[in-house]
Amino acid sequence: MSDIKLTNTTSSAEVRELTRLERIGAHSHIRGLGLDDSLEPRDVSMGMVGQQAARRATGIVFKMINEGKISGRAILLAGRPGTGKTAIAMGLAQALGEDTPFTTIAGSEIFSLEMSKTEALTQAFRRSIGVRIMEESEIIEGEVVEIQVDTPAGGGEKTGRLTLCTTEMETVYDLGAKMIEALTKEKVTAGDVITIDKASGRINKLGRSFTRSRDYDATGAQTRFVQCPEGELQKRKEVVHVVSLHEIDVINSRQQGFLALFAGDTGEIKSEVREQIDQKVAEWREEGKATIVPGVLFIDEVHMLDMECFSWLNRALESDMAPVLVIATNRGIAKIRGTNYKSPHGIPIDLLDRLMIISTSPYTEAETKKILIIRCEEEDVEMAEDALDLLTRIAMETSLRYAIHMIIAASLCAAKRKAPEVQIEDIKRVYSLFVDVKRSTQFLMEYQKEFMFNELDNGDDEEDEDDSDDEEEDMEEDEDDGMDE
């Protein structure tokens, strides 16, 4: 491979954005970590409420990533379900902004039929490593004085002339049919300030020249006015863009082509391709053409990974290009998937040893209420104060998630009664229509004989949460048994 392709970078960036938006969903109200300049958490800010200690710690992680000097660190967010682990990770992603690659996967996504677990992990890793590439390009920048187009009488290709000026000079350029088409498409007229990329011929409209601001009534109100450029018409301009290593991999792997980025079915990528790309990127770094932007790989529900994945992570974290790894789990002492060994958080000790652990704690009633208020705003639901108090009580008794899910259902109930806002009766109605885990479990205990596959032996007096954990483990074991057969 003599040269590495980097085209279609904008389209792939769009693809990345789309997937990100789609994933946020339940966390769309989170717009950052809500920290002040000294990285102290504000009480309620950017959609974030409470969880001060965890947010403060994440702020330090943010700083570490933002400076981009440290690679291969791993952070574990540990805490009970619904304590905002995923929310904090999303806040971190938002705080880091567009230019820092942030990849989100769930532990279970690794297991697919199309590629091996380690390939899936490798792709996720390389998605999280950005390469900032500096390219110098030659452009022509000037104010359009005149565009003349000649249409030959007997048909044939159009030709024309474009006159551009700066404050100091004026030049006439000959136009071919392609450039004329491009100018027409961009609706370029006299008085526009434009740039033309000499290599690609791409035209970019910067705005209207101030000298033309008097013909204001002929333009829309949102027209942007810019100064007429100074100096030479031809300029060198530095263009910077960030692509992830994975994107470079896909674009350069011959059987896939960049279209695979849209479809998402990139398949396995040959290790030779990756080696060549790593080599090329290393060269660029030495020549000062590119820098590495270590991003973040966030693996949610990390207890779904097995020994093979964990040991891969161990090893991968040692690479100097490794992104910062953020993982989250709600497990306590649990079996490591696929083994009979129990370990804290369901993660092997040797990986745990490398982690910085941030723990999240349950919310107080006041915090819960604030989160619910924010969610009501996010879902555009008006709720009466007493209804909100009831919903908060329900959240404390059952779970935050259950209460959040009730919001939209209750608002539909209110709409059905043609009431302008959600009242207590709507909350009550939804509460009776949809049961929460506790009531459902209660029901199962009472009527288990009438269901299929009941395995509950009576006299189990453990806490609710432990119960559900045990149940899940049992289910996993069942799965494993099935596979062995």
What is the closest distance, in whole angstroms, from the C-beta atom of residue 232 to ligand ADP in the complex? 53
When the beta carbons of 241 and 405 are compared against ligand ADP, the nearer one is 405
Range in contact with ligand ADP (rule: CB under 6 A) among 26-34, 124-132, 264-272, 278-286: 26-34
Q: Tell me the angle at which helices 245-252 and 9-24 cross, rounded to the nearest 10 degrees.
A: 120
**Which listed range, 59-67, 79-87, 274-282, 318-326, lies at the site for ligand ADP (CB under 6 A)?**
79-87
- Burial 420-458, CB ≥16 within 10 A → b, else e: eebbbebbebbbeeeebeeeebeeeeeeeeeeeeeeeee
The nearer residue to Mg ion, 192 or 301, going by C-beta atoms, is 301
Which of these, 261, 258, 309, 249, lies nearest to 109 by C-alpha position? 309
- 């942030």: which residue's tokens? 102
Residue of the chain from 12, 58, 86, 103 that contacts Mg ion (CB under 5 A): 86
- The one of Mg ion, ligand ADP, none whose footprint includes residue 139, by CB under 5 to 8 A per kind, is none
Q: Applying CB under 6 A, does 420 fall inside the site for ligand ADP?
A: no
Q: Of ligand ADP, Mg ion, none, which one does residue 32 interact with (CB within 5 to 8 Å by kind)?
A: none
Asked if residues 448 and 471 have their Cβ atoms less than 8 Å apart, the reply is: no
- The answer to whether residue 100 forms part of the interface with Mg ion (CB under 5 A) is no
Amino acid identity of residue 190, one-letter, is A
Q: For ligand ADP, which stretch binds (CB under 6 A), given 46-54, 163-171, 284-292, 331-339?
A: 46-54
User: How many CB atoms are located within 10 Å of the residue 13 CB?
Assistant: 17
Distances (CA, A) of 290 to 133, 243, 276, 317, 463: 4, 11, 16, 22, 55
Q: Per rule CB under 6 A, is residue 49 in the interface with ligand ADP?
A: yes
CB 33 within 8 A of CB 59: yes
Nearest distance from residue 97's CB to ligand ADP, in Å? 19
**Is 82 a residue that touches ligand ADP (CB under 6 A)?**
yes
Largest CA distance in the chain: 97
User: 46 and 35 in contact (C-beta within 8 Å)?
Assistant: no
Cβ atoms 50, 370 nearer than 8 A: yes
Q: Cα separation of 334 and 75, whole Å?
A: 19
Q: Which residues contact 214 (CB under 8 A, 6 or more apart)?
A: none
For position 400 contacting ligand ADP by CB under 6 A, the verdict is yes
- Report which DSSP code applies to 296: E
CB of 418 to Mg ion, least distance (A): 37
| CA of residue 317 relative to chain centroid, distance | 21
26 lies in the binding site for ligand ADP (CB under 6 A): yes
Does residue 94 bind ligand ADP (CB under 6 A)? no
Cβ(92)–Cβ(398) below 8 Å: no
Nearer to ligand ADP, 26 or 145 (CB): 26
The answer to the question of residue 85 lying near ligand ADP (CB under 6 A) is yes
Question: Cα–Cα distance between 107 and 88 in angstroms, integer?
Answer: 17
Choices 5-13, 41-49, 204-212, 238-246; region in contact with ligand ADP by CB under 6 A: 41-49
Q: Which among ligand ADP, Mg ion, none contacts residue 323 (Cβ within 5 to 8 A by kind)?
A: none
User: Which residues 327-386 are close enough to bind ligand ADP by CB under 6 A?
Assistant: 330, 371
Q: Closest approach of Cβ 463 to ligand ADP, in Å?
A: 18
* 48, 351, 383, 413: which one binds ligand ADP (CB under 6 A): 48
Least separation, in Å, of the C-beta of 164 and ligand ADP?
Answer: 52
Asked if 83 interacts with ligand ADP (CB under 6 A), we say yes
Nearer to ligand ADP, 274 or 303 (CB): 303
Assess 329 for contact with Mg ion (CB under 5 A): no
CA distances from 344 to 297, 349, 351 (A): 22, 8, 11
> In the bound complex, what is the minimum distance in angstroms from residue 435's beta carbon to Mg ion?
22
Using CA atoms, how far apart are residues 249 and 212, in angstroms rounded to an integer?
47
The residue among 327 and 406 lying less far from Mg ion, judged by its C-beta, is 327
87 binds ligand ADP (CB under 6 A): yes
Q: Give me the residue whose beta carbon is nearest to ligand ADP.
A: 84
Which positions touch ligand ADP (CB under 6 A)?
Answer: 26-27, 30, 47-51, 79, 81-87, 330, 371, 400-401, 404
